[in-house]
Homo-oligomer: A and B are copies of this chain.
Amino acid sequence: MNDYIHKLKEHNLKVTPQRLGILSIIQKSGHISIEELYVAVRRDFSTISLATLYKNINFMVEVNLLKEVKIPNGKSKYEIVKEEHSHMICKKCSKLEDLELSLQSVVQTASKKSGYLFDDNALVLSGICPQCQ
């Protein structure tokens, strides 16, 4: 059936229709902001509370089911956690896309240079997408 059920239970979160609805919309959209998400979720759950949405987003981020993507000069978007990846954003159309890119050598260089032990990274490249060029 739905994989979210498993993921939720895995993290000791009860499986509610609201949570499944939220996750399904985030999945479908790829990346979505809180406001966009609220509008979308309300199409399925007209009475859902904004507080419920915030609480769930926060929970899910805490248990690593969701990830916040911070956008330069823009509002954060949320996505379902998957393999580590970077992002590209188009300055014209504001489209946000995934980018699979190995940062291994960069991270290794950084670690050697600084003495830090890194276990996470966030890279957003900004520019103009092919369609907008």
Q: Quick one: which of B70, B115, B118 contacts A125, CB cutoff 8 A? A: B118
Categorize the interface residue count of chain A: 35 or more
Which of A10-18, A22-30, A38-46, A95-103 lies at the interface with chain B?
A95-103
What distance in Å separates the Cβ of A18 from its nearest Cβ neighbour in chain B? Answer: 24
In the bound complex, do residue A107 and residue B120 qualify as a contact, i.e. CB atoms below 8 Å apart?
no
**Closest 10 A-B residue pairs measured CB to CB?**
A118-B127, A115-B130, A70-B70, A120-B126, A123-B123, A118-B125, A116-B127, A117-B127, A117-B128, A122-B124
Taken together as a complex, chains A and B put the C-alpha atoms of A23 and B123 apart, in Å, by: 27
Given A68-B72, A70-B70, A72-B68, residue A110 in contact with residue B129 (CB < 8 A): no
Q: Which residues of A contact B (CB under 8 A)?
A: 68, 70-73, 86, 88, 90, 97, 99, 101, 103, 106-107, 109-111, 113-130, 133
In the bound complex, do residue B120 and residue A133 qualify as a contact, i.e. CB atoms below 8 Å apart?
no
Q: Quick one: which of B68, B122, B125 contacts A116, CB cutoff 8 A? A: B125
In the bound complex, do residue B122 and residue A126 qualify as a contact, i.e. CB atoms below 8 Å apart?
yes
